[in-house]
Amino acid sequence: MARNELSSNTITGNFYLPLRQQDGGTENFALDVDFKIPGSGVTGIFGPSGSGKTTLLRCIAGLQPCVTGSLTVNGTPWQQSGNPNRSLAVHERPLGFVFQQPSLFPHLSAKDNLAFARKRASTEVSNEEYDEIVALMGITALLGQRPDTLSGGEQQRVAIARALLVKPRLLLMDEPLAALDQARKREILPYLEKLHRSLDIPILYVSHSVEEIARLADHLLLMRDGRIEQAGSATELMSSADFPVHLGDDLGVLLEAEVIDRDTRWNLLRARVAGAELWVRDSGESLGERIRIRILARDVSLTRTEDQQSSILNRLPMRVRDITPDADPAMVLVRIVPQRFDTIASYTHIIARVTRRSLHQLALEENSPVWAQVKSVAIVR
C-alpha cells in the first residue's frame, strides 16, 4: 500500500541502450540511466549536446525502441525490461510530445492539426477544454491558417496545443525552442510558464539552455555521456558552484523568494530570500507572491567595507564560506553566505566570480566578513 502511494506520484524507469555515435566516431555511446522523477511539475533534462537527453526522451516516448528498459508513469507500467509484450507502442502511451523540428502536418490547417489530436485523445476533450487550451497558447486567431503561413514560434505554439489535446498524462518537450531565434523564444517562453502553472500533468523538458531551465524547471536531471550525473531540485542544483556543466558567464544561483514590500515611488520590490532581502525591479508581482530570482556570479562584486557611495542598491553583509578555482585561471569563485546565519542551508548562498588578484588584495579567506554588491537581480518567474 505504502509502495503504491509512493509510486503513484512518480515516474520511475531505467534504460540501457547502446548506440553507435552518429558522427561516425568509433567510440560507442550508450544511454545508461536509472531515474525517479516527481510525478508533477517540470523536470528539466539538462546537459551538453550529445549527452543523451533527446535519446532518453525518445525512449520514454517509445519512439526509440529499448528492450532493456522499464518505465512506470504515476503507477502505470509503460514498459518492462525484457518483456516486449508488455511494452506499449508509441500510440498507446498517453503522452504528448513537442518536437524541436517543425512538426505540424503540412497538408492540414492549424485547426485540422488540432482536430487530428482531439479526435484521438485518450478521453474526450470538451469544448471548454478545447477553448481553454487554444486560449492558453494564444492561437485563436491562427486557426484558419496553413502551417507554412505561420512563423516558427506560432507553429510551435500550435504544436504544443496539439500535444495537449490528446489529453496526455505526461508531456515530453524536446528542446521546443531550440529551432527558434531569440525573439521567437521570448515570444513563446511566457506561454510555457503559463502551461507550467495551469497544468497538473508532469512535464519533461529537454534543453541545453540555462535560461529556459532556470525559468521553467522545478526538478533537474543533469546528463553527461549517456548517464545521469545529478538529479534534484532545480534551485539547489543550479546554485552549486561545482555545477557539473561548464556554464561560464551563465554560472549563478537560483533562489526562491517572497515579495514582501513594494516601493511605488522607485518602482521596486523588496524580496526576501532566506537570510537576506533584495531590491528587484517591479514587474507587477503581488505582495506575498513566491518568485524565483537568479543572481549571476559575474554580477556580484565584493568589498571589505560597505561602499555607501555606490550606485548599486543591493549591498549585503555576508561572509566567505569557501573559495574554488574557476575554469579561467585568472578567476575564482567565492561562495558567500549571510553573516547572521550560523547553520547554513545550502540554497541561501550567493556565488561571486572575481579575479584572483582582487582576492589577494582583499585578503579574503574562509569566514572573512565581506560586503556583496549585487549589480543585477533577475526575476526569472
Partner 1 sequence: MLNNADLAAIWLTLKLATTVTLLLLVLGTPLAYWLAKTRSWWKGPVSAVVTLPLVLPPTVLGFYLLIFMGPQGPLGKLTESLGLGTLPFTFTGLVIASLLYSLPFVVQPIQNAIEAQGRHLGEVAATLRAGPWDSFWHITLPLAKPGIVTATVLGFAHTVGEFGVILMIGGNIPGETRVVSVQIYDHVEALEYARAHWLSAAMLVFSFSVLLALYLLQRRKSADGWRYGPQ
User: Distance from CA of residue 299 to its chain's centroid?
Assistant: 21
Give the nearer residue to partner 1 in terms of CB position, either 115 or 231: 115
**Counting contacts by CB under 8 A, is residue 11 touching partner 1?**
no
**Counting contacts by CB under 8 A, is residue 67 touching partner 1?**
no
Give the nearer residue to partner 1 in terms of CB position, either 109 or 235: 109
Query: Of these, 53, 157, 162, 292, which contacts partner 1 (CB under 8 A)?
Result: 162
- Compute how many residues bind partner 1; rule: CB under 8 A: 27
**Counting contacts by CB under 8 A, is residue 21 touching partner 1?**
no
Closest distance of CB 97 from partner 1, Å: 4
**Counting contacts by CB under 8 A, is residue 97 touching partner 1?**
yes
Q: How far apart are CA 206 and CA 204, in angstroms?
A: 7
**Counting contacts by CB under 8 A, is residue 353 touching partner 1?**
no
Segment interacting with partner 1, rule: CB under 8 A, options 14-22, 161-169, 254-262, 283-291: 161-169
Closest distance of CB 377 from partner 1, Å: 39
Identify whether the C-beta of residue 17 lies closer than 8 Å to the C-beta of residue 55. yes
Closest distance of CB 133 from partner 1, Å: 14
Closest distance of CB 77 from partner 1, Å: 18
Segment interacting with partner 1, rule: CB under 8 A, options 74-82, 100-108, 208-216, 296-304: 100-108
**Counting contacts by CB under 8 A, is residue 120 touching partner 1?**
yes
Pairing of strands 28-38, 10-20: antiparallel
Residues with Cβ within 8 Å of 147's Cβ and at least 6 positions away in sequence, in order, are: 102, 104, 105, 106, 108, 109, 110, 113, 155, 158
Query: Of these, 8, 101, 267, 367, which contacts partner 1 (CB under 8 A)?
Result: 101
Please tell me whether residue 280 adopts helix, strand or coil conformation. Answer: strand
Q: How far apart are CA 291 and CA 308, in angstroms?
A: 28
Identify whether the C-beta of residue 285 lies closer than 8 Å to the C-beta of residue 354. no
Give the nearer residue to partner 1 in terms of CB position, either 169 or 356: 169
**Counting contacts by CB under 8 A, is residue 122 touching partner 1?**
yes
Nearest to 33 by CA among 222, 244, 242: 222
Give the nearer residue to partner 1 in terms of CB position, either 45 or 352: 45
Q: How far apart are CA 286 and CA 251, in angstroms?
A: 28
Closest distance of CB 161 from partner 1, Å: 12
Q: How far apart are CA 198 and CA 194, in angstroms?
A: 6
The residue whose grid cell reads 502511494 is 5
Q: Is the dihedral of CA 200, 204, 207, 211 positive or negative?
A: positive
Give the nearer residue to partner 1 in terms of CB position, either 9 or 122: 122
Closest distance of CB 148 from partner 1, Å: 5
**Counting contacts by CB under 8 A, is residue 176 touching partner 1?**
no
Nearest to 301 by CA among 289, 311, 291, 287: 311
**Counting contacts by CB under 8 A, is residue 61 touching partner 1?**
yes
The residues facing 354 across adjacent strands are: 332
Question: If you ran DSSP here, which 8-state letter would residue 41 be given?
Answer: S
**Counting contacts by CB under 8 A, is residue 195 touching partner 1?**
no
Query: Of these, 6, 21, 86, 90, which contacts partner 1 (CB under 8 A)?
Result: 90
Query: Of these, 74, 75, 81, 116, which contacts partner 1 (CB under 8 A)?
Result: 116
The residue whose grid cell reads 556565488 is 351
Cell output for 317: 553583509
Segment interacting with partner 1, rule: CB under 8 A, options 2-10, 86-94, 204-212, 236-244: 86-94
Give the nearer residue to partner 1 in terms of CB position, either 102 or 317: 102
Going from the C-alpha of 113 to that of each of 119, 135, 140, the distances in angstroms are: 10, 16, 13
Give the nearer residue to partner 1 in terms of CB position, either 119 or 304: 119
Give the nearer residue to partner 1 in terms of CB position, either 23 or 148: 148
Q: How far apart are CA 52 and CA 71, in angstroms?
A: 17
The residue whose grid cell reads 503504491 is 4
Going from the C-alpha of 148 to that of each of 108, 138, 153, 321, 329, the distances in angstroms are: 10, 18, 12, 55, 49
Binding site for partner 1 (CB under 8 A): 61-63, 89-92, 94-97, 99, 101-103, 105-107, 116-117, 120-122, 148, 162-163, 166
